[in-house]
Structures are given as structure tokens and as C-alpha cells.
Amino acid sequence: MQNQSNLEVVRVRHPLKFRLLRVTRVETLSSALVRVTLTGDLSDFVSASFDDHVKVFFPAPGEDKPALPSLGPDGIAFPDGVERPAARDYTPRRFDNNANELDLEFALHEAGPATAWAAQAKPGQYLGVGGPRGSMVIPTGFDWHLLVGDETALPAIQRRLSELPSGARVAVVVEVANRAARIALPTEADLYATWVYRDELEGEQAEQAAQPLVDALGEVWLPPGEGYVWAAGEASAIRAVRAYLCNDRGVDKKRIRASAYWRRGAQAAHETIDD
């Protein structure tokens, strides 16, 4: 069993920087996930946690580069007369300070500036990237880890799996559109993965957006000892996941980090889910 003092979640702040980055590679990981590799001055890019996010700025229609803000004495400002570009949050899936590379992975869905950009992404195009401004560093030394989410959580889940050491016990529960949206989850850790496919759901499960993840979690055994739960995805689904785990499965509220990565019917929604 772990010593509790090694298990504190630590908040770290980073100096805010905005960068103009160029696409060098575009890879299709699944029917619903596109990985984009960016390059530029990334020598001092810092991302201390698997669930960090950067603000991605997209070029305005007809432009090849996005307008970028700068950080002045009065905070973040765009140049006079420049319209604010569309901006959305994405997870730094992988970065390499020496090779000046940053990978982002875009879940494709029906419509929105980010998904439309990702669906047409090509080498030579430009994106703006701001941050990360800070990190919540969750120790890897828990007796067990549970990672829950949908397509938008897959970049963070993959990054977490890549950093968990051999011998760590981790359960992953992911809901995706269909079998073609499933990806490989390489890890040194001892992994138990459950995939839920939306197109195979029936009855009540198919009608209630929050139900499939909760039902799948009902089949997951939580080992004894000190555990940590991380969950991200659609707001109502993740709210239900947190309520179920804390109320029905005895997870301590201090041992769960739950975030809305999007909200049905809202643009660019982000919320930490607590009481």
C-alpha cells in the first residue's frame, strides 16, 4: 500500500506563451481521431501533466495563419482591428523539446471550427498554440488508476498510459462512436480496458447519454488500496460518472478529477466537475 504523503496532487503554474506552429504530419488514428504533428519554437514548451491543455487558435476563413494574442500589462490582447480567431482546448498528447515537435489529436464530430479544420489538415498549414498555463500533476504511485472518457479524452488517456510504470494497475473505460473509432492503448502498466460503442447500444442506454459509461463502470472492479480516478468527456456523462463513483462505489471526492471537455449544444465548453 502507498504512503499517503506521496500521493498529493500538485498544481504547477507555467509562464504563458503563444506560438505560431506549422503542421509537419497528419495521421489518421481511427475513424474519429486525427493526430497532427506541429513544429516551431517548442524548445521551452512545458507540459507537466497528461491532462494539461493548450488553447489552439485556428486561421480565419481565407487566411493561412491565425491571429495570435500577446500578453501585455493588461492581460491577453489581440492587435487592434484584428478579429479574435476561433479557439478551442486540446491536450498536448506528446512533445519533444529537442525535435521541436508537438502532437495534438483531434476527435472528429459533426461540426465546429476545430473539427472542420482537423478534417482537412495538411502539412504546411499553421495553427496558433497558447499555454499550457498550468498543470495538475497526479502522482503515478497510486495502488490503482481508473481513466474514464470519450474520444476527446483519448489523447490524455494515451499520454497517461505511456507514463504509468510497469506494475501500475490501471483500468480504462472509454466510450466511442463505433468499433472503427477504437485505437491501440500501448502501456507498460497492467491494463484492463473496456470499450463501449455507441452504435451498439440499445434501449435505455442508447437514449440516455450519461448511462453507457456508468453501466460499463458497474463491471469494473476497484482494487483495495489508494486509487485515483480521472474522467473527461461530455458534461452530463462525466457528471453522472462522478456521482456514481462517489455515491455508489465509495470513491473519495478528493481522489477524482472529473472534467467536462465539451457540452452538448454549447461551443468550447470547459468545466471542472465538483459539488
Ligand X SMILES: Cc1cc2nc3c(=O)[nH]c(=O)nc-3n(C[C@H](O)[C@H](O)[C@H](O)COP(=O)(O)OP(=O)(O)OC[C@H]3O[C@@H](n4cnc5c(N)ncnc54)[C@H](O)[C@@H]3O)c2cc1C
Can you give the binding site for ligand X, defined by CB under 6 A?
A: 53, 88-91, 105-107, 109, 111-115, 151-152, 155, 261-268, 270
The minimum distance between CB 157 and ligand X, in angstroms, equals 10
The minimum distance between CB 113 and ligand X, in angstroms, equals 4
- Closer CB to ligand X, residue 54 or residue 226? 54
Residue nearest to ligand X (CB): 112
CB 128 within 8 A of CB 66: yes
CB 155 within 8 A of CB 230: no
Angle at 187 between CA 181 and CA 190, to 5 degrees: 110
Residues 6+ apart with CB under 8 A from 79: 67, 70
- Closer CB to ligand X, residue 243 or residue 269? 269
The minimum distance between CB 222 and ligand X, in angstroms, equals 25
The minimum distance between CB 76 and ligand X, in angstroms, equals 17
Residue written as grid cell 494515451: 158
- Closer CB to ligand X, residue 16 or residue 220? 16
> 89: which strand partners?
55
Residue 31 CA: distances (Å) to CA of 38, 90, 150: 21, 19, 14
- Closer CB to ligand X, residue 193 or residue 269? 269
CB 198 within 8 A of CB 175: yes
- Closer CB to ligand X, residue 144 or residue 260? 260
The minimum distance between CB 61 and ligand X, in angstroms, equals 14
